[in-house]
Structure 1
Amino acid sequence: MTTPDLSLLVTLHNEAHLAGPALRSADLAIAAAEAAGFTVERLIGLDAATETTRRFCAQPVIAERWPCRDYDFRDPFLLRNALARAATGRWVAWLDGDDLISENWLVTACEMLRDAPPDETWVIHPELNWVFDGEENVFTLVDQADPLFSKAYLYFNNYWDMMSVYPRDLALAVPYAPRRPEQGYGYEDWHWNLATMAHGVLHRVAPGTIIAKRRRAESVSRANARISAVCQPSETLRIDRFWGPHLQPPEIPS
């Protein structure tokens, strides 16, 4: 059996019919990637899914193209770890079931990973996050190789969310930490970005690509804000390891 180039992994919980536009955008992006010669595996992960969401996925027009795996983690990060283990592609891409991706997203990310230097591991992010529904914003993501990138920013905020494409081996080597809101921790995507940087991974941006992210009334990010969550401790931000090629220590006058 030939290994697919890419596994597109969609996470669903209570999105129901809202997953329709998400999967439509995914199908268009997959078609563009396949036209460029890449092979793509489809897989949906259901985590404690509602009955309406299950019925949506069981429709023949969906089920014939999108196989589903059923889980009961009630944790989006543990779900991602399980889907990465279930995937068979060389690379993995993520899509939340109520978000949308630009048609060029997968093909551009795959081309960047294909052409990456063999001695480097890259995580590819979209250039823009377009937030809609419960909030309206557009965020520009910063490439780690960009002069605007500052490691110091990562002490205070997260540059990149989870909607990314990267080697499946990295997903297995650096799994997401589980949610721990009862301990005051959150922002597991931020923590994962830091953990991968500790492994020497570079976070790159695919020019001209967009992910439209639906901001729900009750989302993980809003739950984090409500409890004033902080990112889990990270080796990357240890003060004795902080200075690196992207940020030099200030000169101290004698």
Structure 2
Amino acid sequence: MKASRTSLFTTILVCCSLLFGSFSLALAQGDGNVALDKLSAGKLINNFRTATLYVNDADEVVGGRFIHTPTGFVLDYLQIQSVPQGFIWVNSYPTSDMGEPHTQEHLLLGKGNVGRAVASLENMSLAASNAFTEQWRTSYQFHTAAGADAFYQLFERKVDALIHPDYTDEEIRREVRNFGVTENPADKTLRLEEKGTVYNEMVSSFDRPGNRLYRALDQALYGQS
């Protein structure tokens, strides 16, 4: 492959068994069919600038890196024989020890009207997905058994949700950490209890010895933050 520098913003790796025509419809709407071997560095297609082309061992073009000029998003496209699937990662360097990147992972594709629409579309698209947050990036992966059309529709909705979220402050509080009222089944008394999806994940992770060991190794490698 021809080397290219990783963006400081977002890199999207799309691995799929789609024909050039399908890729052209997604990338070059209104510009006609654009075969990969007809592209060259610097060519602008529907606001995506061709940064570099990827070749295989036979020197055939099998993909490319395209930069969305308005946002800085980086799209890495590779033609691979597999079911339609995508892997999206966002460089999400922490700005504090409050866990903002992990919180965003929970909110972007599941909260707000935009996030809930993505979640509903996944169910209707026979799709499966997962997400995880690392020290300096957040990753989202998904695939669908419903074919190319369903894949590209879901891919478009996911990217739109990552760029244009509309979750509320209340959803942030409920997802991260909040206080709820819990009834004691023995005597029916009420008490305040800490809740929240992120909070519960953190509590359960510290209950597992393997996670504590892994965290100690992370801190030895990357520091306390």
Q: TM-score, normalised by structure 1?
A: 0.25
Q: Which has the larger radius of gyration?
A: 2
Name which structure has the greater RCO, CA cutoff 8 Å, separation 6+. Answer: 1
